[in-house]
Amino acid sequence: MASSLTSASAGTGNEKTFLGHPRGLANLFMTEMWERYSFYGMRALLVLYLATEVADGGLGMNDATAVAIYSVYNAMVYLLALPGGWLGDRVWGARKAVAVAGVVIMTGHFLLAVPAEISFFIGLALIAAGSGVLKANISTMVGHLYPDKNDPRRDGGFTIFYMGINLGAFVAPLTIGWVGQKVDWHLGFAMAGVGMAIGLLFFFLGFRNLSPESSRVPSPLDAAERSATLKKALIWLGVAAAAYAVIGLAGLFTINWALWPLTILGLALPAYYLFRIKRDKDLSQVEQSRMSGYIWFFVAAAVFWGIYDQTGSTLSLFAKNDTTSTLFGFSFPESWFQSLNPLFVMALAPVFAWMWVALNRRSKEPSTISKFAGALVLIGASFGVMMVAQGLSAGDAKVTPMWLVSVYLIQTVGELCLSPVGLSLTTKLAPEKYASQMMGVWFLAVTAGDSVIALLQLIGAPTGTEGWFASQGILAVLAGVAIFMYRRKVKPLMGGVH
């Protein structure tokens, strides 16, 4: 593989390349890296800012409300990937969708930088919407760079691209987190906006390097469809605006009026999509069976992500309230803990990729079911560790940062057992009719899991207690054991997929 930006790879003539790949990969890599920098930098501050006293520059919310807002926000990012993909496929094309999404995200971050509560929540909504659209389309653009599906560079290109995600996620809490906590919250949020602006700059400068396919609308709406869609959207928007206007004028509005509907939507929509696909009469008997098997994995993934995504909520609050922010004499802000997961992913992902291949050659690679079961046991074990750490931090005592380091390490190992495997499994079990949509359905597992956590907070479940961590840890372990024990019943449902 060539290592020069100006060298040509075999079979591409005089095409200028980036590390032996199409030149546009460099622009998409930088766009994704800076977008993830803005996303994870803001997310590292979010719960801490919400739960910090007003006198110290925060919004002074209680921990439960802060966790609920964080969970609903995260759920909406993944939920909105579905309409985001639809916009790319039927309205704008992938390139325009990413450009619009980037501008929306940047605007949202700069609104967070304004010291006013109303602008903060408008900004949060814009970031969620923009992130959903961008997430659904930028990976598609990477695929467009390799029109030959059998191009040997294709898998390597995606590997390079996904390194950008982890690089951005690693650096963001170290910089944005430090500025936000040590200098000024709103300056930290502004840095996230600058990060997205840099990503947009790389994207716009690289237009000539992108595939023409990225500008094409694969299945454009005709005039009648466009009119009907716009009419439906305006009706629903009008109903929502009228309802909230009445609530506001009556003086009844609180943040729960926004959190409850979004939480219910985050639970109902994944169930609806799975039910609709499962009940489709166009599916063959084998596809019906595979969907039955897939539901097992979807529920398991929802349990996993519901716990895993608390890295930025309950674990951040534990870092703030119950963990010493000093290690080997060096003090650091609590948001820096958010850099541990991407660091561990970058260190361990190549090891896991090698390990699965090595085990497969010896006919000892665990089955997909076993990997899912192991991931659930690991994520449950991580909350078992948190239960112990919470117990040790009773009263005014604070625990060493190594407790959280160990939790993040265990969770990352679990993630590497479940996340790549789940993506691959989704493509294998997807009915032909829903081949493209099923990737969006997989992301809905994150939506469902985060929505459950939000629901628990809204009904008053105590955050940051030994019981909170113990109950979820036990649930995850039991789910993992159940899947493993029932593997002989699940395996036949998969229709020959392993």
Q: Which two tokens stand for residue 143?
A: 């695929």
- Top pLDDT among 5 and 133 is at 133
Contacting residues for 146 by C-beta, under 8 A, at least 6 apart: 22, 153, 154, 157
pLDDT computed for residue 1 by the predictor: 36
What backbone phi and psi angles, to 5 degrees, belong to 21? -115, 165
Distinct helix (H) and strand (E) counts, the chain: 18, 4
| Distance between CA atoms of residues 30 and 27, nearest Å | 5
Nearest to 142 by CA among 260, 27, 314, 54: 27
Contacting residues for 152 by C-beta, under 8 A, at least 6 apart: none
| Distance between CA atoms of residues 77 and 36, nearest Å | 13
| Residue 7, pLDDT above cutoff 60 | no
Look up tokens 């909504």; give the residue: 125
pLDDT computed for residue 140 by the predictor: 83
- Mean predicted lDDT score pLDDT of the chain: 88
Domains of the chain as residue ranges with CATH: 21-220 (1.20.1250.20), 254-498 (1.20.1250.20)
For 230-258, what is each residue's pLDDT tens digit? 899 899 989 988 998 998 888 888 888 99
| Distance between CA atoms of residues 464 and 424, nearest Å | 35
pLDDT computed for residue 2 by the predictor: 35
Amino acid at 244: Y
DSSP 3-state assignment of 365?
coil
Strands (E), 305-371: 326-327, 330-331
- Top pLDDT among 487 and 81 is at 81
| Distance between CA atoms of residues 110 and 145, nearest Å | 32
For the segment 104-128, the average pLDDT, to the nearest whole number, is 95
| Distance between CA atoms of residues 383 and 464, nearest Å | 11
For the segment 445-462, the average pLDDT, to the nearest whole number, is 93
Question: At what angle are helices 94-112 and 117-144 packed, to 10 degrees?
Answer: 150
pLDDT computed for residue 20 by the predictor: 78
Q: Which range, 148-152, 340-344, 480-484, is most confident?
A: 340-344
| Residue 155, pLDDT above cutoff 90 | no
pLDDT computed for residue 170 by the predictor: 96
Amino acid at 380: G
pLDDT computed for residue 168 by the predictor: 94
411, 413, 415, 420 alpha-carbon torsion, rounded to 10° = 170
Contacting residues for 351 by C-beta, under 8 A, at least 6 apart: none
pLDDT computed for residue 314 by the predictor: 94
Contacting residues for 10 by C-beta, under 8 A, at least 6 apart: none
DSSP 3-state assignment of 136?
helix
Where does the pLDDT of residue 410 fall: very low under 50, low under 70, confident under 90, or very high at 90 and above?
Answer: very high
| Alpha-helical segments (H) within 366-436 | 368-392, 402-429
pLDDT computed for residue 374 by the predictor: 93
pLDDT computed for residue 149 by the predictor: 64
| Alpha-helical segments (H) within 52-80 | 63-79
pLDDT computed for residue 11 by the predictor: 42
For 207-222, what is each residue's pLDDT tens digit? 888 988 888 888 888 8
Q: Is 70 exposed, middle or buried (0-12, 13-18, 19+ CB in 10 A)?
A: buried
pLDDT computed for residue 77 by the predictor: 93
- What is the H or E stretch that residue 22 is in? strand 21-22
Share of the chain above pLDDT 90, in %: 53
| Distance between CA atoms of residues 123 and 284, nearest Å | 45
| Distance between CA atoms of residues 418 and 412, nearest Å | 10
pLDDT computed for residue 328 by the predictor: 81
For the segment 361-367, the average pLDDT, to the nearest whole number, is 86
For the segment 313-335, the average pLDDT, to the nearest whole number, is 90
Q: How many CB atoms lie within 10 A of CB 239?
A: 10
| Distance between CA atoms of residues 54 and 119, nearest Å | 16
| Distance between CA atoms of residues 383 and 388, nearest Å | 9
pLDDT computed for residue 294 by the predictor: 87
For the segment 301-327, the average pLDDT, to the nearest whole number, is 93
| Residue 6, pLDDT above cutoff 70 | no
* Number of residues that make up the chain: 498
Nearest to 308 by CA among 445, 412, 169: 412
For the segment 102-112, the average pLDDT, to the nearest whole number, is 97
DSSP 3-state assignment of 330?
strand
Q: Which two tokens stand for residue 4?
A: 């020069």
pLDDT computed for residue 248 by the predictor: 86
Q: Which two tokens stand for residue 117?
A: 């509560």
pLDDT computed for residue 396 by the predictor: 80
Amino acid at 218: P
Q: Is 69 exposed, middle or buried (0-12, 13-18, 19+ CB in 10 A)?
A: buried
pLDDT computed for residue 436 by the predictor: 64
pLDDT computed for residue 497 by the predictor: 61
DSSP state of 478: H
pLDDT computed for residue 150 by the predictor: 67
Share of the chain above pLDDT 70, in %: 95
